[in-house]
Structure 1
Amino acid sequence: MIRGLYTSGWSMLANSKQMDVVSNNLANVNTTAFKKDTLILESFPDMLVRRINDSRSASNPSGRLGNVQLGNDVGEVFTYYTQGQLQKTDNNLDMAISNCDTAFFTVAVPGGNEEYTEYYTRDGSFALNAYGQLVTKEGYLVMGQNGVITLNSENFSVSDDGTIIQDGEAVARLLIRNFTDTTTLRKVGSNLVQRTENTQEQPFDGVVRQGYLEQSNVNSINEMINMITIMRSYEANQKILQAQDGTLEKAVNEIGVVR
């Protein structure tokens, strides 16, 4: 009976974490190039149950009753890096990566001691700062293969491989990282991801589209259905927990009472 309380309680906690993930997906349904997350649950190890000090049964001398499960918990948060739909904006500073789900723009995020850390994003809604440098909406520097990209105006073109052409000359080329396995990447907020020690690169084989922005890959209808399913599961576990609690209360307060 106590085990049942823990099982229902853990399931309710897992449902709460699922709801947080789904809510975050819905909150970012209109965020440029946002990648949706999903929660992967894993069960606790099965426990072998047996009768204590009872091996006299001829049919079951070991006293084993079988295995029982103690519920589940969060295993990991998995991110889907599938490409979202491309929206035409006709803005020269807007860029999107097409035909390659594993490629990212490279940005430099300032840290302490005037150092910069390399992060990656699919959000190509760029701008020019006061120094003519190509930056993200948050002001992070967009990196080229030769360093910071500096332009003298918004009048430029971008070829399929990320080469930036201005005044008839190739002035820079976007530094695009293409990774072999996106499951090794980690989200860090602000629509950015970072690599881990297991992350490996491969040549970029996609296309850079100027004047387009990648939309979020979140399907709002599916996320609403997931939210309803999670709510129903939470309510079911809540009712089971209350029923077990009521049974336990009777066992403690009524069974064995001398009248």
Structure 2
Amino acid sequence: MIRGLYTAAAGMVTQQRRHDTATQNIANLNTTGYKQVDSVNHAFPDVLISAMINGNTAPVGRLNTGVFAEQSISQYLQGDLRESGKSMDFALSTDLQVADPVTGQNIAFDGSGKYVSADGEVIYRPQAFFTVQDAEGNNLFTRNGSFTVNAATGEVLSSGGFKVLDSTGKPLVLTGNQDTLKVDGQGNVLNPETGLPTGTKIGVSVVTKPQELVRDGKGVFHADDIAAADIRYSNATDNLQVRQGYLEGSNVDPTQVTVDLNAAYRAYEANQKIVQYYDSSLQKAVTEVGRV
């Protein structure tokens, strides 16, 4: 009986976390560059049950001991691009490809950006991000291209106040009137008079293991556990484009997250009723059966 109480309680905790994840997605429907988060649930290891019959054990079956919310996975699907008309607004339009190590053909990723090869290897679609730097000098990654310029230093800053880096890993510094700023599709800053590249380029990083990125509450991702070899700056062969005067919207699917929200609420209620049932049964066992 107590085991069933623990199982239902674990279900309540799991559904609460699932509900919180859906709520977070709904709250960020209009957040620039936000990537939807999906909660992944897993069962605790099954327990083998055996019965003692005449001194011998006979297998009865398996017993599941509950479920838990193991992790939250970001979905890096391309969000809709919204035209803002501002020269310091940028969006990334990407469709990065990876060749199958066996066939050499471009991999057809599923809707979540994942591919499972014939030998069971899981491959994720690489993702591109604007590269920013915090006050401690750590490189961070974001899809929010709403930038501003520090009037005193000319440094480009992200909406979170981080320094935007160029393609050499140094803070991006602009000179002249930012209203006349022109950037081509590769992120190269152009001379407003000649239209030729000035040698300065917005730092766009390609992360080959985006599933290992960790987000924080400031709209950026950390790559603390990703090897340096799995992060590089973009080049002309990458199928990506920097769109000036645009911002990337959230990729949250409002219909799906609403369904997830309601499903989590109903499942939480079901587990709650099971807890109440066990509580009532234990109360009777103590106050009534024990008295007999």
Residue number in structure 2 paired with 1:89 = 84
Could you say which structure has the larger radius of gyration?
1
The TM-score with structure 2 as length reference comes to 0.80
Within the alignment, does 1:143 sit opposite 2:143 as a pair?
A: no
1:103-152 CA-partner distances (Å, limit 9, x unpaired): 000111102xxxx2111111001111112221112221111024222222
Give the residue type in structure 1 aligned to 2:202.
L
- Give the SS at the match of 1:229: helix
In the TM superposition, 1:1-259 aligns within 5 A as 1-51=1-51, 54-56=52-54, 61-100=56-95, 102-111=127-136, 116-130=137-151, 131-146=153-168, 147-151=170-174, 152-154=176-178, 155-167=180-192, 168=194, 169-171=196-198, 172-199=200-227, 200-201=230-231, 203-204=234-235, 205=238, 206-258=240-292
CA RMSD of aligned residues (A): 1.7
- Give the SS at the match of 1:254: helix
Q: Is the 8 A contact 2:160 2:219 kept in 1?
A: no
Q: Alpha-carbon deviation of 1:211?
A: 0.8
For structure 1, the residue ranges without an aligned partner over 5 or more in a row are: none
Q: Alpha-carbon deviation of 1:250?
A: 1.6
1:197-223 CA-partner distances (Å, limit 9, x unpaired): 334135551111111100000122221
- Give the SS at the match of 1:240: helix
Task: Give the distance between the partners of 2:47 and 2:25, measured in 1 at CA.
Answer: 36
1:23-79 CA-partner distances (Å, limit 9, x unpaired): 11111111101011111111111111223xx3228xxx4233211001111111111
Q: Alpha-carbon deviation of 1:88?
A: 0.9
Q: Is the 8 A contact 2:144 2:159 kept in 1?
A: no
Q: Alpha-carbon deviation of 1:256?
A: 5.0
**Identity of matched residues, %:** 31
Q: Is the 8 A contact 1:132 1:153 kept in 2?
A: no
Give the residue type in structure 1 aligned to 2:141.
Y
Task: Give the distance between the partners of 1:246 and 1:49, measured in 2 at CA.
Answer: 26
- Give the SS at the match of 2:138: strand
Task: Give the distance between the partners of 2:206 and 2:12, measured in 1 at CA.
Answer: 39
1:137-195 CA-partner distances (Å, limit 9, x unpaired): 22211110242222222212111111011333533101111111210111122110011
Q: Structure 1 residues 195, 256: closer, same or farther in 2, change over 3 A?
A: closer
Q: Is the 8 A contact 2:94 2:128 kept in 1?
A: no
Larger mean CA deviation between 21-30 and 202-211 belongs to: 202-211
- Give the SS at the match of 1:110: coil
Give the residue type in structure 1 aligned to 2:173.
T
Task: Give the distance between the partners of 2:82 and 2:276, measured in 1 at CA.
Answer: 50
- Give the SS at the match of 2:273: helix
Task: Give the distance between the partners of 2:167 and 2:263, measured in 1 at CA.
Answer: 47
For structure 2, the residue ranges without an aligned partner over 5 or more in a row are: 96-125
Task: Give the distance between the partners of 1:99 and 1:137, measured in 2 at CA.
Answer: 21
Q: Alpha-carbon deviation of 1:84?
A: 0.3
The TM-score with structure 1 as length reference comes to 0.90
Residue number in structure 1 paired with 2:121 = none
